[in-house]
Chain A
Amino acid sequence: MNELNPSGWRPSTGEIGTVDVPPTFTGNRALQLEEPLIFEIGSVDQCGVDLPDADDEVLPGLPLRAAPVDLPGLSEPEAVRHYTRLSRQNYAIDLGLFPLGSCTMKHNPRLNEKVARLPGFADVHPLQPQQTVQGALKAMNELAHWLITLTGMHGVAMTPKAGAHGELCGLLCIRAALEARGDLREVILVPESAHGTNPATAAFAGFRVENIPATAEGRVDLAALTARLGPDVAGVMITNPNTCGLFECDMKAISDAVHVAGGYVYCDGANFNAIVGRVRPGDLGVDAMHINLHKTFSTPHGGGGPGSGPVVLSEALAPFGPLPFSARQADGSVRLVEEENAAEEGHSQAFGRMCAFHGQMGMYTRALAYILSHGADGLRQVSGDAVLNANYVLRSLDDVLDAPFGAAGPCMHEALFSDDGFAEGFSTLDLAKGLIDEGFHPMTVYFPLVVHGAMLVEPTETESKAALDQFIGAMRSLAQRAKAGDPALKSAPHMAPRRRLDETLAARKPKLVWREA
Chain B
Amino acid sequence: MRYLPLSDNDRAGMLATIGAGSIDDLFADVSEAARLPGPIPGLPDHAGEMAVERHMSRLAAESVPAGSVPFFLGAGAYRHHVPASVDHLIQRGEFLTAYTPYQPEIAQGTLQVLFEFQTQVARLLGTEVANASLYDGSTACWEAIAMAGRITRRSRAVISGGLHPHYVETARTMAKFTGDVLDTRLPELSAATDDDAVIAAIDGATSCVVVQYPDVLGRVPDLKRIAAAAQANGALLVAVVTEPVALGLLESPGALGADIVVGEGQAIGVGLQFGGPYLGLFGCREKFVRQMPGRLCGETVDADGKRGFVLTLSTREQHIRREKATSNICTNSGLCALAFSIHLTLLGGTGLDRMARASHAQAVKTARALAQVPGVSVVNGAYFNEFAVVLPRDARAVVRELADRQVLGGVSLGRLYPGVDGLANGLLVTATECTSDEDIAALVSALKEVLA
Whether A and B touch (Cβ < 8 Å) is answered with yes
Taking the complex as formed, is A56 at the interface, i.e. its CB lies under 8 A from any CB of chain B?
A: yes
A416 to B301, CA, bound (A): 32
Q: Are B97 and A301 in contact (CB under 8 A)?
A: yes
B276 — which chain A residues lie within 8 A by C-beta? 126, 161, 306, 308, 355, 357-363
A105 to B100, CA, bound (A): 11
A304 to B135, CA, bound (A): 11
A108 to B125, CA, bound (A): 34
Identify which of residues 177-200 in chain B touch chain A, using a CB-to-CB cut-off of 8 Å: 177-179
Given A58-B360, A74-B345, A385-B6: A512 and B298 interface contact (C-beta under 8 Å): yes
Q: Are B118 and A513 in contact (CB under 8 A)?
A: yes
Q: Are B273 and A76 in contact (CB under 8 A)?
A: no
Given A90-B110, A125-B408, A340-B419: A162 and B331 interface contact (C-beta under 8 Å): yes
Taking the complex as formed, is A129 at the interface, i.e. its CB lies under 8 A from any CB of chain B?
A: yes
Stretch at the interface among A9-17, A420-428, A500-508: A500-508
A72 to B348, CA, bound (A): 5
Which B residue's beta carbon lies closest to that of A298?
A: B3
B26: shortest Cβ distance to chain A, in Å?
A: 4
B289 — which chain A residues lie within 8 A by C-beta? 510, 512
Stretch at the interface among B30-38, B369-377, B441-449: B30-38
Identify which of residues 312-334 in chain B touch chain A, using a CB-to-CB cut-off of 8 Å: 312-313, 315, 317-325, 327-334
Taking the complex as formed, is A484 at the interface, i.e. its CB lies under 8 A from any CB of chain B?
A: no
Q: Are A46 and B18 in contact (CB under 8 A)?
A: no
Taking the complex as formed, is A8 at the interface, i.e. its CB lies under 8 A from any CB of chain B?
A: no
Q: Are A353 and B358 in contact (CB under 8 A)?
A: no
A360 — which chain B residues lie within 8 A by C-beta? 276-277
Which A residue's beta carbon lies closest to that of B356?
A: A54
Taking the complex as formed, is A473 at the interface, i.e. its CB lies under 8 A from any CB of chain B?
A: no
B48 — which chain A residues lie within 8 A by C-beta? 373
Q: Are A375 and B65 in contact (CB under 8 A)?
A: no
Interface readout for B282-304 with A: 1 if CB under 8 Å, 0 if not? 00000001000001111111111
Size band of the interface chain A makes with B: 35 or more
Identify which of residues 108-150 in chain A touch chain B, using a CB-to-CB cut-off of 8 Å: 108-109, 111, 113-115, 117-129, 131-136, 138-139, 142, 146, 149-150
B332 — which chain A residues lie within 8 A by C-beta? 304-305
Which A residue's beta carbon lies closest to that of B289?
A: A510
Q: Are B110 and A150 in contact (CB under 8 A)?
A: no
A39 to B123, CA, bound (A): 12
Taking the complex as formed, is A382 at the interface, i.e. its CB lies under 8 A from any CB of chain B?
A: yes
Taking the complex as formed, is A223 at the interface, i.e. its CB lies under 8 A from any CB of chain B?
A: no
Q: Are A246 and B29 in contact (CB under 8 A)?
A: yes
Q: Are A203 and B323 in contact (CB under 8 A)?
A: yes
Identify which of residues 8-60 in chain A touch chain B, using a CB-to-CB cut-off of 8 Å: 35, 37-39, 42-49, 51-54, 56-60
Q: Are B46 and A375 in contact (CB under 8 A)?
A: yes
Q: Are B335 and A121 in contact (CB under 8 A)?
A: no
Extra A-B contacts (20), CB below 8 Å, given A71-B123, A436-B106? A70-B349, A90-B106, A93-B98, A124-B64, A129-B408, A149-B42, A201-B328, A203-B323, A279-B36, A300-B96, A302-B334, A304-B132, A340-B419, A357-B166, A373-B46, A385-B23, A392-B14, A497-B105, A507-B313, A512-B312
Q: Give 16 CB contacts A-B under 8 Å.
A: A62-B382, A123-B67, A132-B408, A172-B177, A200-B318, A203-B323, A206-B177, A304-B132, A305-B333, A352-B169, A357-B166, A362-B274, A372-B55, A378-B4, A388-B14, A513-B129
For the complex of A and B, 6 pairs with smallest distance between CB atoms: A73-B348, A120-B60, A357-B275, A94-B93, A302-B335, A340-B418
